[in-house]
Amino acid sequence: MAPRKPSVWNKKPGPGNKKPGDPIIPSPNFRQFSIWPILVALVFISVVNWFLVSSDRTVVPYSRFKDLIRSGEIKRVAIEASFYTGFSENPAPPSPEQPRSPFPSVNDQVKVWRTVPVPDPDFTKLLEEKGVVYAAVSREGNAAFSIILNWILPIAVMYFFWRILQKRMSGAGGNVLALGQNKAIIVAEGDVTTRFVDVAGVDEAKEELVEVVDFLKNPKKYTDIGGKIPKGVLLVGPPGTGKTLLARAVAGEAEVPYFRMSGAEFVEMFVGVGAARVRDLFKQARDKAPCIVFIDELDAIGKSRASGAIGGNDEREQTLNQLLVEMDGFDATSGLIILAATNRPDVLDPALLRPGRFDRQVVVDRPDIVGREAILRIHAKNVKLDDSVDLSAVARSTPGFVGADLANIVNEAALLAVRAGRKKVGDADFNAAVEKVIAGLEKKSRVINPEEKRVIAFHEAGHAVAAAFTPGADPVHKVTIVPRGFGALGFTLQIPTEDRYIVTETELFAQIDVLLGGRAAEEITFGKVSTGASNDITRATDTVRRMITEYGMSSRFRNMALTKRGGGVMGGTQEAFLTREYSEETQRYIDEEVARVIAVRYEVVLKLLGERKNALKALATELLERETVDGKAFKALILAS
């Protein structure tokens, strides 16, 4: 079935999903930050400047300066590039070869005037006339002083306050690079109390992770035989299905330290900090091996580098590159295993999924009815229940719920009981809790109502029965109406009996028939069709079109390819482009032929399912009851009806 509302899927699990035991990531300490040191510094610098640069010399207009020379008041002039300084008397013996500093000493009881000169070739003549001692003064003697004043002092002051700032930001004795140090929670050995028994309803994922635990416990067993231990395992599944919980359980079972960090925490405001953090995390982890590094919400850093905003995100990209480098950099025998979790595997950079990185993927899916009951039991363990409570009935009434929702239900029921002043949680509390949680989830359209559930059951049964009676269709491995993975409301899993590289025309028609089976079953049973089949319809149409345009299977253009498939972009995620090599008229023929073939196949399927109404009904009923029917049970059911 087709995706319902992908938006739900994109949501990150809210704080509601957090278990009380979840470590809390400390945030950097910015409190006690104060503006005072900076103000003091500014005042200090300006006072010093004012004293030294603009001392109490009288600045006069150039004309007045010349008047003072003419009137004989100025006896001595120091000529500098940007100003002239005149002195009233001459305490030291005049000696143009040894000019005095333009800065008179404190003892000098001289009057000082300063002026900014204008170009005046007759100025020296005037000085000669009046017998004024004059000398050009280079400020070399004061250069060192002025460098100190203008450069070193401000830098020193800034450095001083920089240090104070750093200390404030990173706690006592820290340095600014502490920003790059990771905030990963290190849980020491033995501290992880979560075990596999605390996780239910995700048996397939657990089975695969049992192996990971064994890698960590007995690495020698695998390396002795020459086997390679996987470096990275990616947990993939909708929010709240227990990915974080599973990662913790792996560490608990293996009794190794566990570093947990969320992808979002790597990406900081400053470019390069995320990368530094990754480096640091792996350094720590290598020291502690064997251990587990768990990167939660990997999509925050692992988004495909090709996608996203124009110009990309430097910080994220650097962080991702560093992660790739680190993953390639350690030896699989070192006992370091990286677990990561994501609910957006579709956006991950393909580089992350290459061999030697996250080459193992474990799907953590929504639990079925049995799994839901088991999860409810785990969470109800610490809650006093009275005899009226039937957890299997609660499980039955919560299709589509994930572990976090179920934990929430148990908690709500307990709260309701407390509010009502009861000593034990009763059936009524659970019903009310389910309603409450459903109301909350309905806004996010994650809940399936009973009527929808019936439609889904018949739809999936339609696929399965069509597959069972269509020659050339792959055998049915599993049918389920538990909302699956990425947006599907249910699915029918067919597994071919052997590996196939070419597909015959008959098999292609069988694929189309099975795809149309879902909608046909809806029409037969309910007399109307739903949007649930839209993905099936897309795929069926696509197959027919390709049969005509690429595989040369149409009657008019038999054995002729009408389109050419161009190479995909390197990395293969981009859709290969198609080159059209036909006329408008042919285009019309293709459209008409697609419509005709689909109509013919749909009639065939309608007829087939019409004749197998019993099987359809039996399977749908079984699905409504048990939600999942495996291949063997399916075969038995088909034979019986």
Active site residues: 460
Cβ nearer to ligand ADP, comparing 377 with 539: 377
What are the angstrom distances between the C-alpha of 596 and each of 186, 222, 591?
63, 57, 9
Task: Rule CB under 5 A: say whether 1 interacts with Zn ion.
Answer: yes
Cα distance between residue 514 and residue 468, in whole Å: 9
Q: Binds 1, which of Zn ion, Mg ion, ligand ADP, none (CB < 5 to 8 A, cut-off by type)? A: Zn ion
Task: Name the token pair of 365.
Answer: 């899916």
CB of residue 1 to Zn ion, shortest distance in Å: 5
Q: Binds 404, which of ligand ADP, Zn ion, Mg ion, none (CB < 5 to 8 A, cut-off by type)? A: ligand ADP
CB of residue 244 to Mg ion, shortest distance in Å: 3
CB of residue 367 to ligand ADP, shortest distance in Å: 6
Cβ nearer to ligand ADP, comparing 372 with 463: 372
- 316 class by beta-carbon count within 10 Å (0-12 exposed, 13-18 middle, 19+ buried): buried
CB of residue 480 to ligand ADP, shortest distance in Å: 17
Longest dimension (CA), the chain: 133
Task: Rule CB under 5 A: say whether 512 interacts with Zn ion.
Answer: no
Task: Rule CB under 6 A: say whether 521 interacts with ligand ADP.
Answer: no
Query: At 59, which amino acid appears?
Result: V
Task: Rule CB under 6 A: say whether 251 interacts with ligand ADP.
Answer: no
CB of residue 296 to Mg ion, shortest distance in Å: 5
Task: Rule CB under 6 A: say whether 104 interacts with ligand ADP.
Answer: no
Hunting for tokens 């996780």 — which residue is that? 199
Task: Rule CB under 6 A: say whether 378 interacts with ligand ADP.
Answer: yes
Task: Rule CB under 6 A: say whether 395 interacts with ligand ADP.
Answer: no
| DSSP 8-state assignment for residue 484 | B
| DSSP 8-state assignment for residue 150 | I
CA dihedral 299, 302, 305, 309 (to 10 degrees): 40
Contact 198, 249 (CB under 8 A): yes
Residues 144-203 that bind ligand ADP (CB under 6 A): 199-202
Task: Name the token pair of 451.
Answer: 């009527």
Name 67's Cβ contacts closer than 8 Å, sequence gap at least 6.
none
CB of residue 463 to Zn ion, shortest distance in Å: 6
Residues 2-61 that bind ligand ADP (CB under 6 A): 13, 17, 19
Work out the angle at residue 622's Cα, subtended by the Cα atoms of residues 617 and 623, and round it to the nearest 5 degrees: 100
Which x/- pattern over 241-260 shows residues binding Mg ion (rule: CB under 5 A)? ---x----------------
Cα distance between residue 212 and residue 219, in whole Å: 10
Cα distance between residue 287 and residue 171, in whole Å: 24
Number of residues that bind Zn ion (CB under 5 A): 3
CB of residue 533 to Zn ion, shortest distance in Å: 5
Cβ nearer to ligand ADP, comparing 127 with 199: 199
Task: Rule CB under 6 A: say whether 398 interacts with ligand ADP.
Answer: no
Hunting for tokens 């820290």 — which residue is that? 174
- Residue of the chain from 219, 230, 232, 242 that contacts ligand ADP (CB under 6 A): 242
Task: Rule CB under 5 A: say whether 343 interacts with Mg ion.
Answer: no
Cα distance between residue 36 and residue 38, in whole Å: 5
Residues 162-181 that bind Mg ion (CB under 5 A): none
Instruction: Tell me the residue nearest to Zn ion as measured from the CB.
Output: 518
Q: How many CB atoms lie within 10 A of CB 202?
A: 28
Residues 401-420 that bind ligand ADP (CB under 6 A): 403-404, 407
CB of residue 576 to ligand ADP, shortest distance in Å: 34
CA dihedral 582, 585, 588, 592 (to 10 degrees): -100
What are the angstrom distances between the C-alpha of 70 and each of 32, 39, 62, 109, 125?
63, 48, 12, 21, 12
Cβ nearer to Zn ion, comparing 240 with 518: 518
Q: What is the DSSP string of 277-313?
A: HHHHHHHHHHHH-SEEEEEESTHHHHB-SSSSSTT--
Task: Rule CB under 6 A: say whether 243 interacts with ligand ADP.
Answer: yes
CB of residue 18 to Mg ion, shortest distance in Å: 9
Task: Rule CB under 6 A: say whether 342 interacts with ligand ADP.
Answer: no
CA dihedral 242, 244, 246, 250 (to 10 degrees): 180
CB of residue 30 to ligand ADP, shortest distance in Å: 28
Residue of 101, 102, 96, 100 whose CA lies nearest to 132: 96
Q: If residue 217 lies in a helix (H) or strand (E), which one and from where to where?
A: helix 203-217
The strand pairing partners of 262, in sequence order, are 296
Task: Rule CB under 5 A: say whether 318 interacts with Mg ion.
Answer: no
- Residue of the chain from 78, 233, 245, 544 that contacts ligand ADP (CB under 6 A): 245
How are beta strands 336-342 and 291-296 bridged, if at all?
parallel
Residue of 408, 612, 606, 587 whose CA lies nearest to 513: 606
Q: Contact region for Mg ion (CB under 5 A) — 31-39, 53-61, 236-244, 593-601?
A: 236-244
Contact 268, 274 (CB under 8 A): yes
Cβ nearer to ligand ADP, comparing 245 with 467: 245
- Residue of the chain from 457, 465, 518, 549 that contacts Zn ion (CB under 5 A): 518
Q: Binds 202, which of Zn ion, ligand ADP, Mg ion, none (CB < 5 to 8 A, cut-off by type)? A: ligand ADP
Cβ nearer to Zn ion, comparing 536 with 593: 536
Q: Binds 518, which of ligand ADP, Zn ion, Mg ion, none (CB < 5 to 8 A, cut-off by type)? A: Zn ion
- Residue of the chain from 240, 302, 345, 426 that contacts ligand ADP (CB under 6 A): 240
Cα distance between residue 381 and residue 364, in whole Å: 23
Binding residues for ligand ADP, rule: CB under 6 A, are 13, 17, 19, 199-202, 237, 239-245, 341, 375, 378, 403-404, 407
Binding residues for Zn ion, rule: CB under 5 A, are 1, 518, 536
Binding residues for Mg ion, rule: CB under 5 A, are 244
